[in-house]
Structure 1
Amino acid sequence: MNTFLRPLSGRRRTAPSEALLRTGVVAVLRADSPDHLMPAAGALVDAGLVCLELTLTTPGALEALERMRGEFGDAADIGVGSVRSAVEARRSVDAGADFLVSPGFAADVVDEGLRAGVPVYPGGFTPTELAAAWDAGATAVKLFPASTPGPAYLKAFTDPFPDVRVMPTGGIGIDDVGPWIRAGALAVGLGGALSGDALHGGDLTALAQRARRALDAAAGARA
């Protein structure tokens, strides 16, 4: 049996989106205000980086999500990050989130994702935390912060846990995308190294160039 789709308490583990499987990169958009989210998101989607994570630490993130749903439709896979409770998970799904991401493992957030039928990516750092999140029904587990252990840690983890899908996030640079994918990552979450100054009204052309570099790195590592 494919453990990735193993039935869990009468429900099925939700599969990652086609967009995530195809691109291997998630743009984590964390800002002090929502003012520049839409222009940055547009530049990313135009560049082909269509998996976007809006974090709840950004004021007005859910309202921005609803606007993006209307602007991009099915062209973008837009999720909500920094989800730490079942209430936040439900609000995010109601606003149109395509997936949920947590900084740590909260079983009730995973349960909400399973109930809603959306992919859910809870965070963890130690093998015990990552395995517990997976066994609870996560679509994949978010290794966070990934910059601390590096890609070799992922290889060491997946040797005894070959069925667990992992998405490293936190402190990853664009030049690190390839090594993480080659180490076995399902996808890589990119934050500040990707967004640069774009979420503060900065250079959207440079943002698009970084996005294309990241996508090329992921594709090259898979090839």
Structure 2
Amino acid sequence: MNSSFSWEAFDRMPVVGILRNVPPRHMQKLFTVYYDAGFTTIEVTMNSAGAAETISTLGKMFGGRLNIGAGTVCTMQDLDDALSAGAQFIVTPVVAEAVIKACAERGVPVFAGAFTPTEIYRAWELGASMVKVFPAGQFGPAYIKEVLAPLNPIKLLPTGGISQENFTDFLEAGAKGLGMGSHLIPKALVENEQWEQLESHLSGFAEKYRHFKQQMN
């Protein structure tokens, strides 16, 4: 049985950390550092080796503390494997209609990948909880702001090219969350087991977000 996705936790720190091909031996320490820094939501991409097993193991270790989801879900087989492993939310890189519909029917949050206004609207219409605008770095925050002018009810989650230097610009443009990979979790720090440096990096990002949120309130 999948535990429920916590929107309260996500709203507290609306960032989806993206993990791809992280060695299993690093996962427990990495997730501990990630959680202790104040992050709440993380995805393991299904095109990583042993993704389903990793999601299952992490769910047992961190269930109830972290939202643990599956990314790069393109097919119904991917979806079945992810949900069977205990994924609490689903992320697609494209407008995978069957996957989005199935998640909506089952009450599973799905962050569907799209880029053009037509794709974004279609993903939302199909039942996406949020629409992952990917690759967001190509056109930057201005694109998010312009898309939301006519499509303001849609919750956008820009992903790709988001960094500690520009993430507040995307939030100011109207994004309701952010998807971040190597800019948030540098691969070299994980591979070299530089946990103190990773903790400092993540804590710095979290503090910058909290400061931004205080200014916006």
Contact persistence 2:76–2:98 (CA under 8 A)? yes
Contact persistence 1:28–1:191 (CA under 8 A)? yes
The amino acid of 2:26's aligned partner reads H
Q: TM-score, normalised by structure 1?
A: 0.88
CA distance in 2, matches of 1:16, 1:170: 24
Give the alignment partner of residue 114 of structure 2, picking from 121, 124, 138. Answer: 124
> How do 1:1-223 residues align onto structure 2 when only pairs under 5 Å count?
17-31=7-21, 33-196=23-186, 197-222=188-213, 223=216
The amino acid of 2:207's aligned partner reads D
Per-residue displacement from partner, 1:51-98 (whole Å, max 9, x unpaired)? 111111210111111111111120111011000011211211111111
CA distance in 1, matches of 2:99, 2:53: 20
Per-residue displacement from partner, 1:137-192 (whole Å, max 9, x unpaired)? 10010010111110111000001001000001112111222111111111111101
Per-residue displacement from partner, 1:178-219 (whole Å, max 9, x unpaired)? 111111111111101111124424312222222222223333
CA distance in 1, matches of 2:158, 2:95: 14
Matched-pair identity in %: 32
User: Residue 150 of structure 2: SS of its match in structure 1?
Assistant: coil
CA distance in 2, matches of 1:44, 1:89: 25
**C-alpha distance 107-16 of structure 1, shift in aligned 2 (>3 A):** farther
Contact persistence 1:40–1:198 (CA under 8 A)? no
User: Residue 68 of structure 2: SS of its match in structure 1?
Assistant: strand
Contact persistence 2:120–2:131 (CA under 8 A)? yes
CA distance in 1, matches of 2:44, 2:129: 18
CA distance in 2, matches of 1:74, 1:60: 22
After TM superposition, give the deviation of residue 127 of structure 1 in Å.
Answer: 0.8
The amino acid of 2:209's aligned partner reads A
Structure 2 residues not aligned, in runs of 5+: none
**C-alpha distance 201-15 of structure 1, shift in aligned 2 (>3 A):** closer
CA distance in 2, matches of 1:105, 1:137: 11
Q: Which has the higher contact order (CA 8 A, sep 6+)?
A: 1
After TM superposition, give the deviation of residue 50 of structure 1 in Å.
Answer: 1.8
Per-residue displacement from partner, 1:19-74 (whole Å, max 9, x unpaired)? 11111111111125433223211210111112111111210111111111111120
User: Residue 53 of structure 1: SS of its match in structure 2?
Assistant: strand
Q: Which one is further off, 154-163 or 60-69?
A: 60-69
CA distance in 2, matches of 1:60, 1:100: 17
Structure 1 residues not aligned, in runs of 5+: 1-13
User: Residue 130 of structure 1: SS of its match in structure 2?
Assistant: helix
